[in-house]
Each structure stands twice: as C-alpha cells, then as structure tokens.
C-alpha cells in the first residue's frame, strides 16, 4: 500500500514537472510569403522570443495562408485557435474597427516619416486601443510600403481604370478609391489573387512590389504603374485573454522581442520593396511605368474626393488629425 502511494506521488510529480516545462505555444498565422518584410519579421520575432524566454515560449509560424485566409484568421484569433497575427490595416473593417481604413486613403501619407508620425504617436496608439473591446491587444505597427497598380493594359491616367475589375482588400476606402477611378472593385482573399489574375476573374490589382513579386503576380500582369497612391502596413495583434494570462515576466520578454522585431522590420521594408521591384524588372514580363510629377498630381486630384466621401465611415476628426500629423 505504501509502495503504491509512493509510486502515485512520484507519477504526480513527474507529470507536474512535464506540465511545468511544456512551453507556451504562440501560433502566429499570416498570409504572405516568408521572404517579405512581414514574413522575415515574424521569423525574427520567433528567434528573439524563444531566446529571451529560454524556450519557455515556442512560436509556431504559419505563413502564406497555410492555416487561415484573410477573414478566417481574424475569427481564429478571437476564438483563440491562433494567438498572434499581423493583418494589413485594410482588413480590420469586418471586425468592426473601421477607423484603421484611414491608412488606405489615397495619397494621405506623403512620406514614411509622415506615416510614422501617425503610427508611433497618440493616433496610432488610440487606434490599437480600439481593438481591446474585440478581445484583441495591439502590440505594434509593422511596415510594408507604398503600393503600385497593375493590369494587363497601361495605367497612366485615372481614365485608364474605367471598367477594369480590380482586386482589393476588404476595405471600404479601397472600394471607394477604385470606384472613384471608374473601376469595379472586387474583394478577394490574398491567397486567391494570383489565380484570379491568371484566369481573368479580375483584370488588375494593387500592392507593394514585395507582395507582387513573392506571389508572382507580375507573371500575369503586363503593366505596373509606380503610383505610390496608397500605403500598406500591418498591426501585430494577439488574443487579449491569452496575452493577459501570460506570466508577467514572459509578457515583458515578449514585449521586448516584439520591439526589436519591429525595429528590424522597419529597417528592411523599403529595401525589400526596392529589391522586389528590381526583380520584377529583371523578370522581363512586365512593363514598369513611373508616373511623372504631373501625372501624379492628376491622380491625386482625381482621388482627393475619397477623403470627403469616407468621412462618415472613418470620422472627419480622425482624417483631419492624420492630415495634420502627416503635414508636420
């Protein structure tokens, strides 16, 4: 009897210590290729987080929509099926936080500095706070870059968009942008874009060069216009309940790892996009056109009404505050 009790006690200790040593798993799902600013930063975060926590945290990366597509991943995060995501700022509308769509307004950020004034300042912090009521904690903003437009015909003037079916992300601002240009916007998950372009389900799209190249979109688009008409960036987000439930020392280590991964991400984003643009040129399948200053002024003028049209959705005050910050 005594032996039985001792054995039971030993078993209990063994299973407790196995439990105590089991790492905390962070499933980090995203939709882009590993070889993109977001993909590389996710890898850097994994390295930093696992090192800083001495292996008490294990970060499992699921790139390229292999686990979830755009819409599903947000649902999965809320349900706790994954713990971390970095969706583009254009994808928070369906979650009910439509203010993030302000980042999609055409030509609202003249430079990256203007953008950082917003993301790193009170406006950016305030927007992340809005996620809390959705069971989500916002940790950081990650960068990608300014978008190019593509199609199988040259896109030099706003009139060239007339009647084109253009793939967009699920943002009403992007919808308004394409309609203002006379195009027919169509929301598609990122993972479906290449095939939709290839089969003619849509005629064209927009994205920074890093996404275009790594998804091989340039192979099925004859023309790219460097218009820099809009910005694409991300919010790194976690399931709030999971995050709040972490031991405090682990959370602090992860916050530091995230800060360092974010610095890394911002340092590589522009270079990655420049390299991707060079690679698209080299592939020789796509004609690349850089808008002249005069042409860009024409695009800007054509797209300016989108700001007014979207005041009701995003908030006049927020748009004004961003414009003010961006002009500093």
Closest CB to ligand LMR among 36 and 239? 36
Binding mask 61-100 for ligand LMR (x = CB under 6 A): ---------------------------x------------
Q: Give the shortest CB-291-to-ligand LMR separation in angstroms.
A: 21
Closest CB to ligand LMR among 32 and 102? 32
Q: Give the shortest CB-212-to-ligand LMR separation in angstroms.
A: 9
Tokens of 305: 């009404």
Residue 191: CB atoms within 10 A of its CB come to 16
283 phi, psi to nearest 5 deg: -60, -25
Closest CB to ligand LMR among 31 and 173? 31
Closest CB to ligand LMR among 88 and 177? 88
211 belongs to the binding site for ligand LMR (CB under 6 A): yes
3-class DSSP string for 100-142: HHHHHCCCCCCCHHHHHHHHCCHHHHHHHHCCHHHCEEEEEEE
Please state the separation of Cα 325 from the chain's center in Å: 22
Q: Residue 192: name the closest of 205, 209, 175, 178 by CA.
A: 205
Q: Give the shortest CB-245-to-ligand LMR separation in angstroms.
A: 27
Q: Give the shortest CB-69-to-ligand LMR separation in angstroms.
A: 10
Tokens of 93: 């509308």
Q: Which residues of 289-299 are buried (b: 16+ CB within 10 A; e: fewer)?
A: bebeeebbebb
273 belongs to the binding site for ligand LMR (CB under 6 A): no
Give DSSP secondary structure letters for 61-105: EE-TTSS--HHHHHHHHHHTS-SEE--BGGG-GGGT-GGGGGGGS
- How many residues belong to the site for ligand LMR (CB under 6 A)? 9
Q: Give the shortest CB-115-to-ligand LMR separation in angstroms.
A: 16
32 belongs to the binding site for ligand LMR (CB under 6 A): yes
Whether residue 208 contacts residue 270, with contact meaning beta carbons closer than 8 Å, is answered with no
d(CA 145, CA 53): 32
Residues 232-261, interacting with ligand LMR (CB under 6 A): 232
Whether residue 217 contacts residue 16, with contact meaning beta carbons closer than 8 Å, is answered with no
Q: Give the shortest CB-306-to-ligand LMR separation in angstroms.
A: 18
Q: Give the shortest CB-18-to-ligand LMR separation in angstroms.
A: 37
141 belongs to the binding site for ligand LMR (CB under 6 A): no
228 belongs to the binding site for ligand LMR (CB under 6 A): no
d(CA 288, CA 296): 15
42 belongs to the binding site for ligand LMR (CB under 6 A): no
Closest CB to ligand LMR among 207 and 228? 207
Whether residue 132 contacts residue 240, with contact meaning beta carbons closer than 8 Å, is answered with yes
Question: How many helical (H) and strand (E) elements, i.e. helices and strands, does the chain have?
Answer: 14, 11
Q: Give the shortest CB-32-to-ligand LMR separation in angstroms.
A: 5
Closest CB to ligand LMR among 211 and 227? 211
Residues 163-192, interacting with ligand LMR (CB under 6 A): 169, 190
Closest CB to ligand LMR among 187 and 304? 187
31 belongs to the binding site for ligand LMR (CB under 6 A): yes
Contact positions vs ligand LMR (CB under 6 A):
31-32, 88, 144, 169, 190, 207, 211, 232
């Amino acid at each position: 009897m005594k032996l039985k009790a001792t054995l039971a006690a030993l078993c209990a200790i063994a299973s407790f210590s196995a439990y105590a040593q089991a790492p905390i798993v962070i499933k980090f799902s995203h939709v882009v290729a590993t070889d993109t600013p977001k993909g590389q930063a996710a890898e850097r975060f994994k390295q930093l987080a696992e090192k800083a926590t001495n292996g008490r945290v294990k970060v499992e990366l699921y790139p390229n929509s292999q686990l979830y597509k755009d819409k599903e991943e947000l649902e999965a995060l809320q349900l706790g099926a994954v713990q971390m995501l970095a969706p583009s700022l254009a994808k928070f509308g369906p979650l009910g936080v439509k203010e993030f769509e302000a980042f999609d307004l055409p030509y609202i950020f003249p430079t990256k500095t203007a953008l950082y004034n917003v993301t790193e300042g009170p406006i950016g912090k305030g927007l992340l706070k809005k996620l809390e009521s959705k069971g989500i904690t916002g940790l950081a903003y990650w960068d990608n870059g300014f978008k190019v437009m593509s199609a199988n015909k040259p896109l030099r003037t706003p009139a060239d968009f007339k009647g084109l079916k253009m793939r967009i992300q699920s943002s009403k601002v992007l919808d308004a942008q394409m309609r203002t240009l006379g195009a027919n916007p169509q929301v598609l998950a990122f993972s479906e874009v290449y095939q939709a372009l290839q089969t003619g389900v849509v005629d064209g799209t927009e994205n920074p060069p890093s996404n275009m190249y790594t998804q091989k979109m340039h192979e099925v688009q004859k023309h790219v216009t460097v218009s820099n008409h809009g910005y694409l960036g991300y919010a790194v987000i976690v399931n709030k309940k999971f995050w709040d439930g972490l031991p405090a020392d682990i959370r602090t280590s992860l916050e530091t790892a995230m800060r360092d991964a974010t610095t890394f991400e911002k340092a590589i984003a522009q270079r990655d996009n420049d390299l991707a643009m060079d690679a698209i040129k080299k592939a020789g399948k796509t004609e690349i056109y850089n808008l002249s200053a005069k042409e860009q002024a024409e695009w800007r003028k054509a797209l300016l009404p989108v700001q007014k049209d979207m005041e009701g959705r995003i908030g006049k005050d927020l748009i004004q505050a961003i414009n003010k910050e961006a002009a500093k």
